[in-house]
Amino acid sequence: MHIHFLGISGAGLSALAQVMLGRGYSVSGSDPAAPNRVTTELEKLGAKIFSRHDAENIAGADLIVVTSAAENDNPEIVAAHLQNIPILKRREFLREVTRANDVIAIAGSHGKTTTTAMIGLILADAGLDPTVVVGGMVPEWETNARVGKSNWFAIEADEYDYAFLGLDPKIAVVTNVDYDHPDLFPTHELYQNAFADFLKQMRVNGVVVVCGDERAAGELAEASGRNVIRYGTGEQNQWRAAKICANDLGGSDFEIFRGNDFVGSGSLQIPGQHNVLNALAALAAAQSAGVEMEAALKTLARFGGVGRRFQVRGSFNGAMIVDDYAHHPTEIRVNLRAARERFPQARIWALFQPHTFSRTRALLDEFANAFEDADRVLITEIYAAREKDDSGLSSGMIVERMKGEARFVETLDAAENILRAELRVGDVLLTLGAGDVNQVATRLSEN
């Protein structure tokens, strides 16, 4: 069977393409972003990649899988309709791909990529040989997917375009439910309802692993009617982290309790209390899958993070360059807090590129209050992605609401010039955003 992926270089579809190649399917795909690292690796595995959309690209295809960003007038979609080739969105395709598997689905507004990678590595190290789909590059695998032979399938469960409704998990992890994607969910209630629907469709005998420190997530888990395992730092959680402190590896050490019983000591190389919570989620999910605590802790101790998640890229003029995908106020806040904890004496710079007009408009005040742990802030113009805006919305409106050393800099090139002139020995720069702000980190680290 020949499957054609429209938008194959995206995090979600590229990983699924790799899984289908590993299962013996013929795969092709198109994406104007090609060639890049992801598509080059897929070509090595046997995929045929096209760098532009064209009706001829789907020749011989039995099924078309399309990205959420695809327009109905895309020539490949038009051609598929004319040729009566089935077209599936990611949600529909996920249902087919995972139908026969025991699914561990990791959902949440923040932290799901890191938590999915943690769980996948723990299961693999324990010999469970899982298939894994992650929304970021896992350095240990040098890719964003793993094809296993067992029945376990760990997957990052994305709420955008309701993709996670294509899954019926045996184990569901919910890290948090923090309003996002206003282009798709105009209200907080609609956003929470999507997570409620996700939990309602999981297996009746399934397990929900939820952060009990997060009120909205905890309430949705309890309402699901499934068995609930809570994790967090509060006393109400079955799995609890205590005595969290920075370590010499740049991460955190912590003690782990189940109820009142001490069950082990954890150590991470990646910083921030939010990653301690991600680790607790991974431990609880892995134990539900049958992995012993000692083995899981060993994997977590060597876990080096995921691409574009507090990723140290190098240095410039003696300043450390760190890149992160953070594009929501909560993510910005926890990353800057982690930087402050890891580098307490450093002058911390934040270069932020807002992502989409709808998110910027909906969370304008939250963005303005997210940079308290930064000493210097540069904010560039909004990365439009799939959106258009005629209202005059600008990133400058965020800066107008901010206090301290914040500057609106219209372009990435202009921001880079400022950084080249002002970064000095001992500084730490975080490039933040889901657009192309990471290019600045790349160029600076290459000097």
The CA distance from 253 to 250, in Å, is: 10
Read off the DSSP letter of residue 160.
Answer: G
- Where residue 20 sits, what CATH number does that domain have? 3.40.50.720
> Same domain for 173 and 74?
no
- Where residue 255 sits, what CATH number does that domain have? 3.40.1190.10
The CA distance from 137 to 89, in Å, is: 23
Give the domain-ending residue among 89, 109, 138. 89
Residue 407's pLDDT is what?
97
Give the domain-ending residue among 280, 302, 324. 302
> Same domain for 40 and 141?
no
Q: Which residues pair with 4 in a beta bridge?
A: 28, 64
> Same domain for 296 and 315?
no
Tokens of 146: 């793993």
State mean pLDDT over 275-281: 98
pLDDT band (50, 70, 90) for residue 330: very high
Say how many residues make up the chain: 447
Residue 210's pLDDT is what?
98
Check whether 323 has a pLDDT greater than 90.
Answer: yes
Q: Which residues pair with 3 in a beta bridge?
A: 27, 63
Residue 154's pLDDT is what?
98
Residue 186 dihedral angles phi and psi, to the nearest 5° = -65, -20
Find out whether the peptide bond into 271 is cis, omega within 30 degrees of 0: no
83 to 64, 76, 79, 80: CA distances (angstroms):
11, 10, 6, 5
> Same domain for 242 and 123?
yes
Residue 395's pLDDT is what?
97
> Same domain for 277 and 321?
no
Contact residues for 238 (Cβ-Cβ < 8 A; gap 6+): 229, 230, 231, 258, 259, 284
Residue 69's pLDDT is what?
85
Residue 68's pLDDT is what?
86
Q: Are 352 and 378 in contact (CB under 8 A)?
A: yes
State mean pLDDT over 298-304: 97
- Number of structural domains found in the chain: 3
Residue with tokens 């910083």: 271
Q: Give the pLDDT confidence of 222-236 residue by residue, as tens digits.
A: 999 999 999 999 999
Residue 391's pLDDT is what?
92
Tokens of 215: 């009120």
Give the domain-ending residue among 89, 117, 133. 89
Amino acid, single-letter form, for residue 341: E
State mean pLDDT over 340-366: 97
> Same domain for 227 and 324?
no
> Same domain for 295 and 154?
yes
Alpha helices in 6-56 (DSSP H): 11-22, 37-44
Alpha helices in 129-187 (DSSP H): none
Check whether 447 has a pLDDT greater than 90.
Answer: no
Q: Give the pLDDT confidence of 5-29 residue by residue, as tens digits.
A: 999 999 999 999 999 999 999 999 9
State mean pLDDT over 100-120: 97
Kind plus residue range of the DSSP H or E element containing 155? strand 152-156
Tokens of 306: 């995921």
Check whether 167 has a pLDDT greater than 90.
Answer: yes
> Same domain for 292 and 436?
no
> Same domain for 156 and 138?
yes
Check whether 245 has a pLDDT greater than 90.
Answer: yes
Residue 108 domain boundaries: 98-302
> Same domain for 162 and 297?
yes
- Where residue 402 sits, what CATH number does that domain have? 3.90.190.20
Q: Could you count the other beta carbons within 10 Å of the beta carbon of residue 390? A: 6
Residue 407 dihedral angles phi and psi, to the nearest 5° = -130, 140
> Same domain for 274 and 163?
yes
Residue 405's pLDDT is what?
84
Report the catalytic residues: 112-113, 156
Check whether 111 has a pLDDT greater than 90.
Answer: yes
pLDDT band (50, 70, 90) for residue 141: very high
Q: Give the pLDDT confidence of 390-440 residue by residue, as tens digits.
A: 899 999 999 999 987 899 999 999 999 999 999 999 999 999 999 999 999
Mean pLDDT, the chain, whole residue set:
96
State mean pLDDT over 256-268: 96
The CA distance from 31 to 8, in Å, is: 6
Sign of the CA dihedral 136, 138, 144, 149?
Answer: negative
Contact residues for 333 (Cβ-Cβ < 8 A; gap 6+): 370, 372, 373
285 to 1, 114, 229, 232, 269: CA distances (angstroms):
34, 14, 9, 14, 20
Question: What is the distance in angstroms between the CA of the first residue and the CA of the last residue of the chain?
Answer: 47
The CA distance from 133 to 116, in Å, is: 8
Q: Give the pLDDT confidence of 50-74 residue by residue, as tens digits.
A: 999 999 999 999 999 999 888 899 9
> Same domain for 296 and 335?
no
Q: Give the pLDDT confidence of 363-382 residue by residue, as tens digits.
A: 999 999 999 999 999 999 99
| Percent of the chain clearing pLDDT 90 (strictly above) | 97
Read off the DSSP letter of residue 207.
Answer: E
